[in-house]
Amino acid sequence: MKKLFVWLAAAILIATSCEGDRSKTLKVYNWSDYIGEDVIADFEEWYQEQTGEEIHVVYQTFDVNEAMLAKIEKGHEDFDVVCPSDYIIERMLNSGLLLPLDFSAIPDEINYIVNNRSPYIEGMFRQINPDIDANDYSVAYMWGTTGILYNADKVTDEEAATWDVIRNPKFAGKILIKDAPRDVYGPVIITLRQKELQEGTVTLDQLMQNPTDKDLADVEAYLMEVRELICGWEADFGKDQMAQDRAWVSLNWAGDAVWAIEEGAEIGLNLKYVVPEEGSTVWFDGWVIPKYAQNISAATMFINFMCRPDIAIRNMEETGYISSNGDISVLESQIDEEFDPIDVSYFFPGATEVCVDPTLYPTRHTIELCALEHDWGQDTEKLISMWSRVKGQNADYTTVIVIAAVVLIAIAWFVRTNMNKKKRSKAKRK
């Protein structure tokens, strides 16, 4: 017994030391494909230069907001920095899961937060929660619109100009849908309530608030039709599929679209991205420090580093997403005479005519078509159930058959064993 105790104590000691000194470890939880190559290694080096301390980043990724949230909300995992979208930031704020950010200890010459903050982003973040300013708890990372990425040699501009293109049988087997329930719910409810939107009896903002049961049922019925036509629900592989001509229509985020358009052009594809005039959503992902974080000072330094303009530019160029950084050097890095001048003064004050990619920086007009998503609280469960019904029925029938076969074999075995037992005891009695 004594020996067992010694072994157990040693095992616990080894396990704890494997976890390492938490002051030297930073746990970052980010979306996949959402950071420049070597940025993490550069942060570790910069951190040591600035503080004289070593830091080791444990970097993990997620594909959907809801998976990330579950790990923190239910699992209480000790990530130091995570990158949720607006409506999840709202939910985390409402449930007291976020720590306020404090950059005051960072010396001015390496404090990148101040210039980073675009008034546009600050304003949008204030809309996240009317009672608590989300700017005190989060620093925006990337943002963008949701729209339709399409192959313009297969799909006309008119066909792609409506969300209903995802239900167009002409493109059966060539349609991809984001595996992101909220980002799909928005466009579908906008399509279904288009008449009321045009008549002005409902607003986009109202449609983004908590759904009625009828709204959810209508969206579900619509998606049941869509799933018969799609070639996949995707979190990240959609951009590759589009860039390799395997799919022609993709309900997607602008960042994936920018990436796919550039990659597709290399093999001669004519991919385009449009935000339908019917209306859409605009989303913002921001760095936050959850309340179970163990290394708040390194987390604060990490968020600050991600705001350094050259780092923001690298992340932006390598992922295709638009940085939330409001520093003018970020805009300058994107100027390209190949594009017609557009008005991005809503983001960079004074920039009324700049030659930048309108898929990357949406025009003022596009922005005006979009609403922000909000947390649905308890109703989120209804959405998640609806989503799994829609995706579940699409599931692999082989799995269902295998499970059914295993259950049947188990029942047969149980019945046979019992019958044999009875036979044996009868024979004994005789």
Give residues in contact with ligand N2P (CB under 6 A). 31-34, 85, 236, 253, 255, 283, 285
Q: What residues does 85 pair with on adjacent strands?
A: 285
Q: How many CB atoms lie within 10 A of CB 24?
A: 12
Cα angle 262, 264, 270 (rounded to 5 degrees) comes to 100
Please say which residue, 283 or 361, places its beta carbon nearer to ligand N2P: 283
- What is the rounded CA–CA span in Å between residue 395 and residue 383? 18
Q: How many CB atoms lie within 10 A of CB 301?
A: 24
Please say which residue, 25 or 241, places its beta carbon nearer to ligand N2P: 241
Please say which residue, 120 or 171, places its beta carbon nearer to ligand N2P: 120
Please say which residue, 248 or 283, places its beta carbon nearer to ligand N2P: 283
In single-letter form, the type of residue at position 356 comes to V
Q: Which residue is nearest to ligand N2P (CB)?
A: 31
Please say which residue, 300 or 324, places its beta carbon nearer to ligand N2P: 324
- What is the rounded CA–CA span in Å between residue 225 and residue 416? 45
For 96, counting Cβ atoms within 10 Å of its Cβ (0-12 exposed, 13-18 middle, 19+ buried), the class is exposed
Kindly list the distances between the CA atom of residue 3 and the CA atoms of 6, 7, 9, 46, 219, in Å, as whole numbers in the listed order.
Answer: 5, 6, 10, 46, 62
Residue 382 CB, nearest distance to ligand N2P (Å)? 22
Which residues make Cβ contacts (< 8 Å) with residue 30, sequence separation at least 6? Answer: 59, 60, 61, 62, 82, 83
> Contact 173/229 with Cβ under 8 angstroms?
yes
Residue 342 CB, nearest distance to ligand N2P (Å)? 22
> Strand 139-151 and strand 249-253: pairing?
antiparallel
Kindly list the distances between the CA atom of residue 140 and the CA atoms of 122, 398, 415, in Å, as whole numbers in the listed order.
Answer: 9, 43, 61
- What is the rounded CA–CA span in Å between residue 347 and residue 362? 10
Residue 253 CB, nearest distance to ligand N2P (Å)? 5
Q: Alpha helices of 30-136 — where are they, by DSSP H? A: 39-51, 65-73, 86-94, 113-116, 119-128
Please say which residue, 33 or 327, places its beta carbon nearer to ligand N2P: 33
Residue 111 CB, nearest distance to ligand N2P (Å)? 27
Residue 236 CB, nearest distance to ligand N2P (Å)? 5
Residue 33 CB, nearest distance to ligand N2P (Å)? 4
Residue 61 CB, nearest distance to ligand N2P (Å)? 8
Please say which residue, 167 or 374, places its beta carbon nearer to ligand N2P: 374
Residue 140 CB, nearest distance to ligand N2P (Å)? 11
Please say which residue, 32 or 198, places its beta carbon nearer to ligand N2P: 32
Which residues make Cβ contacts (< 8 Å) with residue 360, sequence separation at least 6? Answer: 254, 258, 320, 322, 334
In single-letter form, the type of residue at position 243 comes to A
Please say which residue, 354 or 357, places its beta carbon nearer to ligand N2P: 357
In single-letter form, the type of residue at position 14 comes to I
- What is the rounded CA–CA span in Å between residue 141 and residue 160? 29
Residue 102 CB, nearest distance to ligand N2P (Å)? 26
Residue 314 CB, nearest distance to ligand N2P (Å)? 15
Please say which residue, 65 or 295, places its beta carbon nearer to ligand N2P: 65
